[in-house]
Amino acid sequence: MFYQYSQVVYTGNNNSGAAAWADWFYRALVLLVIACPCALVISTPVSIVSALAAAASHGVLVKGGLFIELPARLKAIALDKTGTLSRGEPAVVRVVPLNQHTEEELLERAAALEARSAHPLARAVMNTAAMRGIPVRPAADVEMKQGKGVTGLFQGERFWLGSHRYLEERGQETTDVHEHAQAFEREGKTVVVIGNDRHVCGLLAIADTVRPEAHAAVAALRAAGIEHVVMLTGDNRVTAQAIAAEAGIDEVQSELLPEDKVAAVEQLVERYGTVAMVGDGVNDAPAMARSSLGIAMGAAGSDAAIETADIALMTDDLDRLPWLVRHSRRALGVIRQNIVFALAVKLVFVVLTFTGFATLWGAIAADMGASLLVVANALRLLSPPWNASSSEEAARSLVAAKVMHGH
């Protein structure tokens, strides 16, 4: 009797153990399927690629996934003046010859010294010389004075060309030259001085216009959460302040050499952490390299600036700056949504697996469905948000109204 009972109990335990083992093996398979990290792994790369493609379609060339995330964290932006806030298409508006020189002689010497330069001011000199029919004969032994000017041999004599500051450094400034230079600077014009070792030959007054979208772009940057916008320029203080006032920028640092711009950016990084430098010239490249995010005005920018920059605005449109900040934040939002959704699906099915409610086919469907959904969510970055155009139009209208009322 006892033997028979023992046999029954043993047989029952054996069947129960086999059933339990089969059940837990099935649950392990479900857990293995749902633990597959497809949706989680693909959620970030597909979002980054979509954000990069969307930026490219808007004329913003981003050189990597890291740099599509940085604009969302920006606290301050430094802007160059010539070619960035201004059109970068300056023109010579006054020619003032001194010491018995003529306007043609002055332009001929200036064009000779600037013949090999790609700087916007050099192009202005060359264009004026061409319009007046003055032949350009490039100077020999040309030496660049970074951020100051240029020297070279022309017709056997050494001439120099540079800023008002460079004139002061050379110790050749006279009362007459000083009065002319100050008068031009008060009008917001850039002063270029030409001279030799004996005297100052004359001055050129060069004017550039602020980009029409500059004021609205600066206002939009502040509305997007940028705490500080500053202009860094090698131009004189009076001209820089006139341009900054027109663009709606409060802080101006002027008469900066390339190394001074680097130091200014370093100070901003210390104060704000994440800082972008926007420029277009060779003089801006070191500061762009030192900043958290270098942004080049692509179409008008120099090769050095574009090569150094992390992002290039190929349309040279300052409106792309606030758009880039908003786009970056939207991209990070989509990435967070995808990660949270992928992890939530995994967590729900883990709980269902241990409670015995999950099925293998359900796990497969959830895994593949989650992957498809995060991809679909990431692809939303390729199209603008539903209220983007109306918000941008409202911002432009607000800024235009303030400008019209003199605010």
Q: How many CA atoms lie within 13 A of 353 on its CB side?
A: 24
CA distance 331 to 52: 10
CA-nearest of 231, 218, 288, 222 to 63 is 288
Q: How many CA atoms lie within 13 A of 172 on its CB side?
A: 21
Which of 80, 284, 319, 367 is catalytic? The answer is 80
What amino acid occupies position 146? Q
The angle subtended at Cα 142 by Cα 141 and Cα 147, nearest 5°, is: 150
Beta strands at 149-154 and 140-145: parallel, antiparallel or unpaired: antiparallel
The angle subtended at Cα 281 by Cα 240 and Cα 186, nearest 5°, is: 15
Question: Is the C-alpha dihedral spanning 170, 172, 177, 182 positive or negative?
Answer: positive
Residue 228 burial (C-beta neighbours within 10 Å; 0-12, 13-18, 19+): middle
What amino acid occupies position 317? D
Strand, helix or coil at 182?
helix
**190 within 8 A of 121, measured Cβ to Cβ:** yes
Pull the structure tokens for residue 16. 């129960």
Strand, helix or coil at 335?
helix
Please list the alpha-helical segments (H only) found in 317-359: 320-355
**Taking the mean position of all CA atoms in its chain, how far away is CA 78?**
10
Q: What is the DSSP letter of 266?
A: H
- What is the phi/psi pair of residue 260, to 5°? -70, -35
**133 within 8 A of 168, measured Cβ to Cβ:** no
316 part of the active site: no
Active site residues: 80
